[in-house]
Structure 1
Amino acid sequence: MARSLVIKVTAGADEPERCNQAFTVAAAALASGVPVSLWLTGEAAWFAVPGKAKELTLEHAVPLPDLLDAVLAGGRVTLCTQCAARRDITVDDVIDGVRIAGAPTFVEEAVAEGAQALVY
């Protein structure tokens, strides 16, 4: 069984460098053939909403919309259920391909055989 990455990003526009790093690692892993599940939690929850990723800019970094598109194309993107609810984000508000799921699903992915979980 191939190793996989489960990446939880908790930072958003409030901490652009840490946020962008999580997306960069996710996209790089996918480009290397590693299966990736990216979880949007905390302030990163906003990036599940169309147009929000373009609001984050970081010098010398790949634009967040490009990284998000790469992860959506080759991996899985999940918005935390509670984080969505606290921000009044519903399934009708999110980008196509983003699912909403909670802690039990995160735990299941994080402890799966061959999985490596990272939190940013």
Structure 2
Amino acid sequence: MSETLLFCNSHGADDPERATVPFIAAATAAVSGRTAVVVCTVEAVNLGVPGVADGIEEQGMPPLGDLVRQFTDAGGEIWLCSACALKRDITGDMELVPGATIVGAARIVEALTEGRAITLA
């Protein structure tokens, strides 16, 4: 089994640069054939809602919406923290961006205990 890289992101429109950097790294990993997951917490869970990432861009960096699509098109997954999503009224009944799933802490812990790497971007 290949190692899964977990990229943590807690930002969205509140800090476009910090929201974009994990997706740059994760998209690079996914396009290179690595198994990659962006774990979104706090404000980043909003990126799982269609159209939100399209409005986020940091000068000198690729538009976040393009990176999210590139990442998921390459097979990357976006995990949205269930507690953070619920707080922001994001539920499993809603349409999410392709590749996005609402997950609990148990799934993240399981990924880590299976010897998977965590990469902070």
Structure 2: tracts of 5 or more residues without a match: none
For 2:35, the equivalent position in structure 1 comes to: 35
For 1:62, the equivalent position in structure 2 comes to: 62
Q: CA RMSD in A?
A: 1.4
Question: Which amino acid letter does the alignment assign opposite residue 90 of structure 2?
Answer: I
- Alignment CA distance shift 1:30-1:96 (3 Å): closer
User: Separation in 1 of the partners of 2:25 and 2:104?
Assistant: 22
Q: Which of 99, 102, 109 is 2:101 aligned to? A: 99
TM-score relative to the length of structure 2: 0.89
Contact 2:81–2:104 under 8 Å retained in 1? yes
User: Separation in 2 of the partners of 1:58 and 1:87?
Assistant: 24
Contact 1:16–1:58 under 8 Å retained in 2? yes
Q: Which runs of 4+ in 1 moved over 4 A?
A: none
Any idea what SS the aligned residue of 1:17 has?
Answer: helix
* Deviation string, structure 1 residues 21-76 (Cα, Å, up to 9, x no partner): 00100000111111101111111111100110012111111111111112222111
TM-score relative to the length of structure 1: 0.90
Structure 1: tracts of 5 or more residues without a match: none
Question: Which amino acid letter does the alignment assign opposite residue 105 of structure 1?
Answer: R
User: Separation in 2 of the partners of 1:112 and 1:68?
Assistant: 26
1:22 partnered with 2:22: yes
For 1:11, the equivalent position in structure 2 comes to: 11
User: Separation in 1 of the partners of 2:118 and 2:91?
Assistant: 26
